[in-house]
Amino acid sequence: MDRRQLFTTLLEGKAAAREVGQSLEILSEKPTPPSSGLDPYTGPWTFDEAAHLLRRAMFGPTKEQIQQAADMGMDAAVAQLLADTPMPDLPVNVFYEEDEFVPIGESWVYAPCPNFSIYNYRRQILQSWMLDQIFSEGISAREKMSLFWHNHFAVEMLVVANATFMLFYYNTLRENAFGNFRELTKKITVDPAMLRYLNGNQSTKNAPNENYARELLELFTVGKGELIGPGDYSNYTEEDIRQIARVLTGWRDRGYRTSDPTVMVESYYQANRHDTGTKQLSYHFDHAVISNAEEDEYKILIDIIFQKDTAARFIARKLYRWFIYYDIDETIENEVIAPLAQIIYQNDYEIKPALEALFKSEHFYDIYSRGSLIKNPVDFVFSIIKPLQVQVPDDPLERHVAFFFLRGVLQLMQMEILYPPSVAGWQAYYQAPGFHRLWTNSVTLPLRNNYADAVSFAMDSWSMLGFISTFENPVDINALISELVSIFLPRGLTEFQRDYLKQFVLQGLPDFEWTDEYGMYLADPGNEELANALEAKLRSMLSKLFALAEFQVC
């Protein structure tokens, strides 16, 4: 499906979109892919470039954040995005009075979890708390990268069914968001949530479980590749999986369902369950032999897997699909993926240098890269409420209710955090040929439109007149629309589209009517009738802007 078909499908059945269908002609034109690869970007650095960087590297940047990034310059903006930041405060009990271990206002993270009722309320609080971290992230790529790793090392709450396990797992991703891929793989390999999710905690010398061994190679490090012989893929063999399963025996978790406050959530090694025999890997790993090393054996294994650059290329492709575009053709493979993988490999699998190179590259800022990626549901939800500065209550319980409602919205849009559909993560990042187009279907697209409309007309949570009061020239309807476009859309609009939006404010009248009406409001801001009339017109226009094809992409 080319881009014309993509956006036609995206907007099918939407009346407003049919009126602006001419925009599809522009978006469907696919410019020649850049040949500069990862060469440093040397073009202009304006509000538009800063907006593109922040839209891809974080969730829903505000006008003020974009302007700040534009003012500080590309190098400083990227440095701030990739800066280490303090870990957030732990989630607390905000409503469940029946928890005998945790009173209201205190954290439940290190408290026992003896039954399903206690787990269930903590699960709800954890989910709303995680969305609060995204809402409050500032200019930082940490939450975006944490979600990237969550998609990569996918673990599902439904299987793990313990909120503390899931928090520790996700905080490991947070702490290592820009860190070392190899070392993060080691930590995830014996993470209590992962051990429980892929049955590593049941793996013994007498019955090695192959679940994690298989995913370690196929999904987490080197990729499966093509079948080149019986039980032999491009990057590993079935025998490798069996040998690796033996390496990983002996690890268990504790603290799952306990009423003992002295028992902590952790993983531990049990020597009598470990296979102490010699394991030999295939020619894909230079026939490496792993002798018994007890609890350190898995570390030796992972060091072997990462000795070559296969894992570097694998993670480079995943970063590209997350931050740039799904289509990796031969040109992209040679001019972007290969040098990006080389940066990762030369830096001993540190991820931050690769992200720096990507976020500062000609390829990243090329017109081909802008407005080409359909927003995932988390991006979509926050790209509305954060720029509009929608107010979220300070009261802990009310704040939880607000973000837990957003959790439900994301569930309907098919991207509920902590609930990836499988160990492979969300299909939009691996399922050919659809890839990111899978986010928009007959179920999710109407939900996106309904959500955008609901926020547009949420009268008590934000003010459109207050929002445009920060604009450079809100008195001029054309300048006002231009600034709205620069904040919310990755590319400019055609004259036809601008006129279309303008009519929801002007209602057939000439441009100067807005100048007169808004001028009257500025002269008499206490005129409630006039303010309400202008607010309604502006909100109507904004809802139509959110219905454009261009708003579905970043």
Give the pLDDT confidence of 418-468 residue by residue, as tens digits: 999 999 999 999 999 999 999 999 999 999 999 999 999 998 899 999 999
The pLDDT-based confidence of 25 (bands split at 50, 70, 90) is: very low
Map residue 280 onto helix, strand or coil: strand
533 inside domain: yes
Q: How far apart are CA 375 and CA 437, in angstroms?
A: 9
The pLDDT-based confidence of 367 (bands split at 50, 70, 90) is: confident
The pLDDT-based confidence of 36 (bands split at 50, 70, 90) is: low
Average pLDDT over residues 476-502: 96
360 within 8 A of 74, measured Cβ to Cβ: yes
Among 483, 338, 394, 477, smallest CA distance to 136 is for 394
Q: What is the 3-state secondary structure (H, E, C) of 465-511?
A: HHHHCCCCCCCCHHHHHHHHHHHHCCCCCCHHHHHHHHHHHHCCCCC
Residue 366 has pLDDT above 60, yes or no: yes
**What is the model's pLDDT at position 281?**
98
HSE of 104, CA atoms in CB hemisphere, 13 A: 8
Average pLDDT over residues 300-309: 97
Q: How far apart are CA 389 and CA 467, in angstroms?
A: 8
387 inside domain: no
Amino acid, single-letter form, for residue 39: D
HSE of 177, CA atoms in CB hemisphere, 13 A: 22
484 inside domain: yes
522 inside domain: yes
Residue 167 has pLDDT above 50, yes or no: yes
523 inside domain: yes
- Which pair of structure tokens corresponds to residue 443? 């179920």
Among 308, 250, 247, 234, smallest CA distance to 281 is for 247
Helix (H) or strand (E) holding 339: helix 338-346
Give the pLDDT confidence of 322-351 residue by residue, as tens digits: 999 999 999 999 999 999 999 999 999 999
**What is the model's pLDDT at position 35?**
52
Angle at 94 between CA 90 and CA 100, to 5 degrees: 90
Average pLDDT value for the chain: 93
Q: How many helices (H) and strands (E) does the chain have?
A: 28, 6
407 inside domain: no
**What is the model's pLDDT at position 33?**
53
Q: How far apart are CA 366 and CA 363, in angstroms?
A: 5
Map residue 340 onto helix, strand or coil: helix
Give the pLDDT confidence of 222-256 residue by residue, as tens digits: 999 999 999 999 999 999 999 999 999 999 999 99
**What is the model's pLDDT at position 368?**
83
Q: How far apart are CA 128 and CA 418, in angstroms?
A: 11
50 within 8 A of 66, measured Cβ to Cβ: yes
Structural domain that includes position 9: 1-30+463-554
Give the percent of the chain with pLDDT over 70: 94
**What is the model's pLDDT at position 34?**
52
408 inside domain: no
Residue 7 has pLDDT above 60, yes or no: no
- Domain total in the chain: 1
In DSSP notation, 209-256 reads: --HHHHHIIIIIIS----EEETTEESS-BHHHHHHHHHHTTTEEEE-S
343 inside domain: no
